[in-house]
Each structure stands twice: as C-alpha cells, then as structure tokens.
C-alpha cells in the first residue's frame, strides 16, 4: 500500500513548529495540520533521528526568537519568575519557591548581597586611627 502522506520535509517542520510554539504532542500537532497519524506512527516518527533533529532546531530557533524580542524586559522575567514561584508553592515546594522569591528580591534590589566582606576586619583600632591620620594629612596637602 502506497504511503499517502506528504514527503517528510514538507510537514515535519510544520508539525515541529506547532509542537514547540503551542506545547502540543506530535499527534495533536499533526491533526491540526490535517495529517492523520496513528499512535504507533506518531511514536515512531517522534523517536526518529530525522524528526528529533528538526525538533531540536525548531526549539533552538524559537528560543533565539524569544531572546531577540525587545519586548521582553526585566519586569517580564520577574513576572515569569513570580508565576514559577506560585506554581512551586501550589505543589508544596515551599523551599524552592522561597529561593525564587529571594532571587526576585535581589533582582529588585530589595535585599543586599548574602555575604558582606569587611576589608578592615583584621585591622585594630590603632591601625584604623593611623590610616585616618595619614589620609587626613594627604587631603590637607592636596588642598
């Protein structure tokens, strides 16, 4: 029996594009394009090296397209992070949600760095007084 389907290169890319952009399984994407696939055919195609290569390329191109979008701002990313934190909380993963919320707070400059380094930690008060005196003399000499 002859295969009634279009040549591979004509519809693999279209199906892969729908799968990536709309997060659809292969059979649903093919059905949308009026390409009938049995479950076995869909599974076989989905696992084939040719389709995998097209799917990976399509995903990479889609991600690059999103990355180049000038409408994606820091606020957009913070909003997406917030949605992720909410989903984590709904799933009971409060520790992971807390990490996401802390990252949002850092992006928004609501909290400082986790560790502050004290460069004067090993100096005694006498050392600090001597430094103040030297700096004071240098400033006086400049004026």
Q: What's the pLDDT tens digit per position in 117-141? A: 566 677 788 888 888 888 888 877 7
Q: What is the CA radius of gyration of the chain?
A: 29
CB atoms near residue 31 (< 10 Å): 16
pTM: 0.58
- Retrieve residue 25's tokens: 């399984």
Report angle CA 110, 82, 59 to the nearest 5 degrees. 125
Q: What is the pLDDT of residue 1?
A: 45
Tell which residue, 50, 63, 65, 64, has the closest CA to residue 15.
50
* Mean pLDDT confidence for 57-62: 97
């Amino acid at each position: 029996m002859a295969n009634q389907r279009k040549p591979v290169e004509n519809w693999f890319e279209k199906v892969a594009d729908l799968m990536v952009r709309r997060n659809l399984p292969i059979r649903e994407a093919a059905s949308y394009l009026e390409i009938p696939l049995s479950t076995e055919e869909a599974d076989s195609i989905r696992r084939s090296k040719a389709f995998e290569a097209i799917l990976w390329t399509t995903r990479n191109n889609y991600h690059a397209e999103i990355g180049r979008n000038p409408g994606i701002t820091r606020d957009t990313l913070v909003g997406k992070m917030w949605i992720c934190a909410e989903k984590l909380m709904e799933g009971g993963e409060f520790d992971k949600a807390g990490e996401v919320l802390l990252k949002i707070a850092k992006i928004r400059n609501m909290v400082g760095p986790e560790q502050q380094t004290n460069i004067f930690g090993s100096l005694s008060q006498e050392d600090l007084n001597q430094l103040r005196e030297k700096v004071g003399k240098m400033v006086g000499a400049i004026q």
